[in-house]
Amino acid sequence: MCELSSIRIVMSDVAFLRFRKLVENYINIYKNKYLDEFKDELLFELNLMNEITFYNHMVSDKQVQFGWDGIVWYYPADYVKAITESLKQLKKEGYGYNYIEFSEFSKSCKRKSAKPTRKDKVTELIVPMFDYH
C-alpha cells in the first residue's frame, strides 16, 4: 500500500535557484518513462514559484517554502530520488535547507536539514509549515 504524503522544503532564494537546476539536470540525465510521468508535477511547482508566484511562497526575507500535498512519496521512486539526490548535492555544494515529510495515513514525520552557509546569505532557516484549511 502506498501512502500519501505532504512534503515541505525551506531554503534560501539563492539555494532554490540552484536546487531547481539540479532537479532539472537529474531528470534529463535519468530519463525514463516512469520519471517522465511525474516530471511535470515536480517541475510545475518549481517553475511556478520562479516564474509566476515566487514571492507568494516567500516565508521570510530571502527564504522560500515549497512542496507537494497528497503525493505518493516512497523510495526508491525516481521522482522522489530527483528531489532527495538534488538535496544531497545542494548540501555538498554548501547550501542549507529544512525538509519535512508528513505521512497522512500513519501521521509519521521525517525531518532532514543542512545548515545554511555564507552561500545562502541567511544565518538561519525557518522550519517548514503546513497550511491546513
What is the reported pLDDT for 85? 92
* Residues 97 and 13 sit within 8 Å (Cβ to Cβ): no
131 inside domain: no
61 inside domain: yes
104 or 132: which carries more pLDDT confidence? 104
The number of distinct structural domains making up the chain is 1
Whole-model pTM: value is 0.78
31 inside domain: yes
126 inside domain: no
pLDDT per position as a tens digit, 36-87 = 666 666 666 565 444 333 334 555 668 888 887 777 777 777 778 888 999 9
21 inside domain: yes
Q: Structural domain of residue 105, as residue ranges?
A: 4-120
53 inside domain: yes
